[in-house]
Chains A and B, each alone.
Chain A
Amino acid sequence: MRARLALIAANTFREAVRDRVLYNLVFFALLMVAAAPLFGVISIGVEKIFMVNLGLAAIVLFGVVIAIFVGTGLVSKEIEKRTLYTVLARPVARWEFILGKYLGLAATLAVNTSCMAAGFFVAVAYVSVGLHAADVNLLVALYLIGLQLLVMTALAILFSSFSTPIFSAAFSFAMFVIGNFVEDMRGFAAMSGGPEGWLVRGLSYLVPNLGAMNVAAQVAHGQPVPGALILADTANALFYAVAALAAAVLIFERRDLK
């Protein structure tokens, strides 16, 4: 079982690595990070804050774009192109296929994010003349971005297990946007009360709280990220990723491949 998962994951990684679109995205992300010090010059005295905010935003944005565009194509493209037939006619369970694909894309995102993070640290070191102890918080911010990408990848795969790539991408983007406003939804629910308040509060728990995983503003000002938040975000991300993958498997297990 593990061997098959590793093979599917490795093949997914190979597919992503051989896709030129991916290189274009990483190139643009690095370009944005590299351009950040130039923007910093405009805002005197806040170069580093600007740099960190823009750099982390670029990493999360491009990471999410890759997660959604590659993730939504992972399953639906295989069904559409019928490449799946020759895989599932082998001793490969459908859940192994879904999980293997997920792990492969997660590995791809880990490598991409690491590349972008390396460029980001070079830019930070350039702006603040070397790295400082407080910059360890940047690693925490990057870890939380990684969690967001894990959740988004799982959601993209979930949507692609029953929908077309375009709709899957649209659903995934919607979830990303809503996920960044979960705190606002809960605030609104607390203020309004009544049935609509309960409804909004209920909905806010259906989507992952991605906003809580965005600590760019804090780390840009050199503030540490509380350990409790890191733990809560980790649990939150794992819960949603596992739930989305489980739902994807449930749907995919029963699906006729036409």
Chain B
Amino acid sequence: MMEFLRDIARHPSGRIGLIIVVAFVLAGALGEAGVTPYGPLVQDRIARLQAPSAAHWFGTDLFGRDVLSRLMVGISQSFIVSFSSVGVASAAGTLLGLSAAWYGGLWDGIVMRFMDVLLAFPAILLALLIIAIFGPSGWTSILAIAIVYTPIFTRVVRGPALSLKHRDFVDAARTFGSSRRYIMSRHLALNLVAPLTVQITLALAWALVTEAGLSFLGLGTQPPNASLGLMLSDARNLMEMAPWLLLVPAIALMLAVLGFNLLGDALRDILDPKTRRALA
């Protein structure tokens, strides 16, 4: 594990990606723990719409709330939603993809056609539909984003699993009488760690954007709680008066997506034995 982190740190874009992601996770963790300069919900009617200063690094909003504090809480909210939803999506996608590849036939047909139907919807539209059914909240955002990204993981797993299934070491395992569970976890899943890791990193970036989109539309996190999308939505009308209100969450979102993408690129290089040799 330590060696793996060292590999990332040595990779030029991986280093930048890792620094950004770690910084965001730290900021989010502090926000979640309540260690913020001001209370994220505390309103200061006197200090409304203040530009960035020593007291308020990123300024204050219409209600005089500290933008930095709200950003930290917003990051934590956005990251919790995206990490949980990608976690659920990758677990469900791996199970579905593995079973579709292993059992084949009718089951494979049913699973993959259902995934095709899900993929055919634009992500945000599908999420809207799910939220329309269950009502807006943090939990429905997680569910909606998880359902949107499950087909991608199913596809990412099924392809390599189909070819792994016919590898000699799987045949060898069958000659010993190894159980299906053992073959799927040891021989298939373990060899899928590399493509899955890359896919998870990239999906985290997309999930962040989707979550921000949902909150922006008022379907994710509900006010007065903070999230990146909600902050963007609130800043919309004050853009000319207080541009920092818009810029701060927008740049934060952009940086986070950039960080995950750089990290994903680096992981792809590091986990692929072909490019790994070239890097060494």
Q: Do A and B actually bind?
A: no
Q: Residues on A close to B: CB < 8 A? A: none
